[in-house]
Amino acid sequence: MERSVSKSKFKPRSLEYFREVESTGEPLIITDRGRPVLKIVPFANDTAKKVAKLRNVIIKYERPDEPVAIEDWESLK
């Protein structure tokens, strides 16, 4: 369950809450007069996973400045 805290309680202890979200991975909802206004979540860096999927996909381009698969465009007409 997502934990929530009011803005007035969050402000003086913000760094403590940031460290808590970072260490636990659990999101934190910031409320204003009981109404949720912000959600703090850990940063997810998916770039490494995406790059790993692309490894060894392109072996070598002989002429990188020329169009690739130009004959495939004919089938789109």
The pLDDT tens digits for 15-70 are: 999 999 999 999 999 999 999 999 999 987 777 778 788 887 777 777 778 776 76
What is the rounded CA–CA span in Å between residue 7 and residue 32? 6
Q: State the pLDDT at residue 17.
A: 96
* Domain boundaries, position 39: 3-74
Whether residue 28 contacts residue 19, with contact meaning beta carbons closer than 8 Å, is answered with: no
- For the domain that residue 62 is a member of, what is the CATH number? 3.40.1620.10
Q: How many domains does the chain have?
A: 1
Distances (CA, A) of 29 to 41, 45, 58, 65: 9, 21, 43, 50
Q: Which of 37, 39, 28 is nearest to 4 (CA)?
A: 28
Q: State the pLDDT at residue 33.
A: 95
Q: State the pLDDT at residue 72.
A: 64
Q: Which of 3, 9, 11 is nearest to 27 (CA)?
A: 3
